[in-house]
Amino acid sequence: MADPNRRGVLVAGLLALPAVSVACSAPAARESPAPTVLAHTSDVPIGGGLIVPEHRIVVTQPTSGTFTAFSSVCPHDGCLVNLVVDGTIGCPCHGSRFAVADGAVVRGPALRALSPRSIAVDGDSIALG
């Protein structure tokens, strides 16, 4: 059986400890990572677009100063689009074409539009947004 006096001493000893002050500070602010720049506005022709293969994205400028972006993966069979010409984005696998303005199907066999992607334009930089 435990010695009740020893237990009392231990409790008394803990209660007799001096108060300790601990300074708490707010966590350090986390720096936001730099945005991933895809292109410069001058790289994207008016009425056309620019394919950025390493991000699987196509950035378009349907009208002067209006920039949009879409996944470069064709919804028909998963191929990557490879050209932007005559106001359309083209897929080499089966000939599907998509509008630079909204990614809508212009010519099949694709039945769905290209998926929109979020971008941000800051000055002359176009970044993932």
Predicted confidence (pLDDT) per residue in 86-95, tens digit: 999 999 999 9
Percent of the chain with pLDDT over 70: 76
Query: How confident is residue 103, by pLDDT bands cut at 50, 70 and 90?
Result: very high
CA distance 38 to 102: 19
Residue 1 has pLDDT above 90, yes or no: no
Residue type, 49: G
Cα maximum dimension of the chain: 93
Contacts 24+ apart (CB under 8 A), 59-65: 59/119, 59/126, 60/84, 60/89, 60/100, 60/101, 61/100, 62/87, 62/100, 62/101
Three-state DSSP state, 40: strand
43 Ramachandran zone, left/alpha/beta (phi>0; psi -120 to 50): alpha
Q: For residue 46, which amino acid is it?
A: I
Quick check: helix, strand or coil at residue 46? strand
**pLDDT at residue 6 is higher than 60:** no
Q: What is the pLDDT of residues 53-83, one digit of tens each?
A: 999 999 999 999 999 999 999 999 999 999 9
